[in-house]
Amino acid sequence: MNKKRLGKQKGRFLDSTALLEIQNLLANMPRRRDLLIEALHLIQDEFHFISAKHVVALAFEMKLSQAEVYEVATFYHHFDVIKEDQAPPPPLTVRVCESISCEMSGAKKLTEDLKKLFPIGSMS
């Protein structure tokens, strides 16, 4: 017989410090699913990245699954999502569009110029 464990948390465990940070950051913002992207922007703006512990805390606070919050955060290139073993990204991130229309407008040259101006670090 296969018994289900009721009340057992799935995924990563909730960090109380991260939860407090998220609660303070969201303050009086309604905890609605349609405001998830706005909440992610608040976290990105405050910390300059979104950590795994903040994903867990935001999911808990908004009563969403950790997978849903992670999927939304990683879908958009505007969010820098890092795992526990990753270092935070540099304080400034420059993104250059790589689409055909951007390339036709000089994106390749812009990328080359940026690499010359900022040789330190990795650019991709």
Give CATH 1.10.10 domain extents, the chain. Answer: 16-82
**C-alpha–C-alpha distance, residues 73 and 50, integer Å:** 8
The residues, any chain, with a CB within 8 Å of residue 76's CB and separated by 6 or more, are 37, 40
- CATH number of the domain located at residue range(s) 16-82 in this protein: 1.10.10
Q: Could you report the per-residue pLDDT of 28-55, keeping only the tens digit for each?
A: 999 999 999 999 999 999 999 999 999 9
Query: What is the model's pTM?
Result: 0.72
Chain Cα centroid distance, residue 122: 20
- DSSP-assigned letter for residue 68: H
**C-alpha–C-alpha distance, residues 106 and 26, integer Å:** 40
Amino acid at 114: L
